[in-house]
Amino acid sequence: MIKDKIERKVVIPGEVIVKGEDYLPGEGAEKKGDEIITTRYGLAEESNKLIKVIALSGIYQPRRGNIIIGKVENITFYGWVIDIDCPEGAFLPLQEVPKYVNKDRLNDILDIEDMIVAKIIGVTNRGIDLTIKSRGLGKIDEGIIIKINSNRVPRVIGKEGSMINLIKKESDCNVTVGQNGLIWIKGNKIDDELLVKKAIMFVSEKSFTSGLTDEVKKWFEKEKKKTMEKSE
């Protein structure tokens, strides 16, 4: 007899999610004997006997290849120290900038308090190494930067970008989502940028609801109606 798939449920640390020899623990869970036990507060999900817990809170875990947004904190001889809202420090070395850098004029390229979109090229115990060499990376010129919990980022992006593309289309804005939870919004009008901010906060707060894409479509319709009514 095929057992029913385990339903998604909220689990707390120490809670037994399921009992059974053939289940395997994924992220946020561990195996003790024949029990899969929660190690992080979140939503337990099963896929093919792999039980993982989707965290809804907690700090960002940096991974190689992640696109992130950060702020220049300090300038040294060899590059820029970047704050990516993560306890491990991040660093952008001179060599990872796609133009010639005069060693005495680093601040001409990037100055303290500048915001950048960068890619993580390495995570070691010394810290996180960044690059801005590829397309789409570099200094952020204007717009607004907002912050959400990094665990909500997958929902804001959606399956194959479905959610973020919907938001971009409905608002006519450029949106770059950093895996660390910082998001850059740039549009032609501030009103549009704020609409994106509102939409992202909406999605972020409802990360665990299903059918969210449809809800968001309806939400945009409502918001646009509200704005039209206001201006009449």
Residues that bind another protein (CB under 8 A): 8-10, 12-15, 28, 37, 39-43, 55-59, 71, 83, 85, 87, 89, 113, 115, 125, 140, 142-147, 151, 190, 193-194, 197, 208-209
Q: Least CB distance from residue 103 to another protein, whole Å?
A: 25
Closest CA to 87 of 183, 182, 180, 184: 180
Q: Least CB distance from residue 100 to another protein, whole Å?
A: 26
Helix (H) or strand (E) run with residue 131 in it: strand 128-131
Name the pairing type of β-strands 24-25 and 50-55: parallel
Residue 119 or residue 197: which is nearer to another protein going by CB?
A: 197
Q: Least CB distance from residue 188 to another protein, whole Å?
A: 13
Closest CA to 44 of 11, 86, 14: 11
Token couple for 75: 């300038």
Q: Find tokens 């009103």 and name the residue.
A: 191
Residue 101 or residue 194: which is nearer to another protein going by CB?
A: 194
Residue 65 or residue 87: which is nearer to another protein going by CB?
A: 87
Token couple for 56: 């809804």
Residue 14 or residue 136: which is nearer to another protein going by CB?
A: 14
